[in-house]
Structures are given as structure tokens and as C-alpha cells.
Amino acid sequence: MIDPKIEDSWKKILFDEFQKPYFISLKSFLVDEKKNHTVYPKGANIFAAFDNTPFENVKVVILGQDPYHGANQAHGLAFSVNDGIPHPPSLKNIFKELQDDMGCDIPKSGNLTQWAKEGVFLINTVLSVRANEANSHKNMGWEIFTDAVIRILSYQKENLVFILWGSPAAAKASLIDASKHLILKAPHPSPLSSYRGFFGSKPFSKTNEYLIGHGIKPIKWCI
């Protein structure tokens, strides 16, 4: 039986998922990978998005791709970096849009844990990566797991906001019931695509307008 260290509400909901053959295979892959390579984030942080945002607290889902692959960057929250680490280019653009949209000062730290505590579920589609090799854990099983998480959130909850940046994230819209949730799509905040419509998309104010309209406490985006 696989019994990962993950926040209790999520453990109950995902317990059956952890016992499926693909997840058992994924766990074996990670054990072997760690014997031969450095893997990010640290094992204790792989489920940080779940640990910081219990199921009942989720209001917003921001979907990333895979963790940062540089030393000390990734800590289990999509787009977030540890304190003291320079802001990666995509995060710089997220903060720029945050400033333009909500009037927030650019945060000194790129650590988004405060958003997670507010109910923003910062989940990557792949939850681990080999050091210095982007997408190196792609197609090893994580996508099956995170697709299941998105489906569960869509099915079991109401009035969530799903923020999907970039084509891979936008493709996940098919997993979400648009009749009871808000889906916000925009180009990825990467410098390669941010000027195609990410800037000016106002995801933060649109999210809060929707939450308030459904009697839900808005997110304190300024950190």
C-alpha cells in the first residue's frame, strides 16, 4: 500500500488514486531516479500545493507545467520560488500583471505560500523534475495523477476559478465543468508569449469579481 505524506483531506480523497498501477510505477521511477540524479523539489515538498491548501480551502486553481529545475528554486508550488531566490522570468511577468491589475507592489520574495494559504491551489501538471533538465519527468505518470486531481476538484466543488496560462494548461479545460466554475485562459507568462495577451488579461481582479459574486471571500493577492 502506498501511503504518501500529504495533507489529511487530500489523502482521503486521493487514497484510491495512490494505489493505482500507474502511481505505483511512478513511485518506483522516483526512487530509482533519486539514486542516480538530483531531483527537485525535495521529497518533503512534492505535495506542498496540497499541504498548504487543504481540499476544503481551495477557491482558485493556477496550473503550472513542471517544477523549476535550478538549485533551491522549486518548493512544490507552481510558479513559486524559495525566499531569497531571484524571480524567474515568468514570475516577474506574473508580478507585473499583478501590479497593473490590482495595484500591488512587486513583492521582494517570489515565495507564493501566502497565496496558497488564501486558497490558491498552485499545482503543476508534473510534480518533479531532474536537476537542470526541464520536462525530464514528463510522461512518467504525474499527468494522470494531476488530471485526476483537476477532475475531482471540478466534480466535488462549486464556483472555483481555474486560471490556465499557456496551451498545455488550456488543454485541461476539457476536465473542468464550465457550467459551475470560471475558467480563465491566457497566454503563458513566459517572456516568449506574455505579450500575446497575458499582459492585460486581469486574472486577479476577474477572479475576485467572480468569488465576490458567489458570496466567497476574495483572495488577498498583494503579498
pLDDT tens for 182-208 read 999 999 999 999 999 999 999 999 999
Contact 41, 81 (CB under 8 A): no
Name residues of the chain where pLDDT drops below 70: none
Q: Annotated catalytic, 66?
A: yes
| Sequence-distant (≥ 6) Cβ neighbours of residue 160 within 8 angstroms | 58, 59, 60, 61, 153, 154, 181, 182
The dihedral region occupied by 215, where left means phi > 0, alpha psi between -120 and 50, and beta the remainder, is: left
What is the distance between the alpha carbons of residues 27 and 202, in angstroms, rounded to a whole number?
38
Catalytic residue among 3, 32, 51, 66: 66
Model-wide pTM > 0.95: yes
Structure confidence at residue 43 (pLDDT)? 92
**Alpha carbon distance 107, 73 (integer Å):** 16
User: How many CA atoms lie less than 13 Å away from 101 in the CB half-sphere?
Assistant: 21
Q: CA 195: distance to chain centroid?
A: 22
Look at residues 197, 150, 143 and name the one whose alpha carbon lies nearest to residue 178. Answer: 150
pLDDT at 217: 98
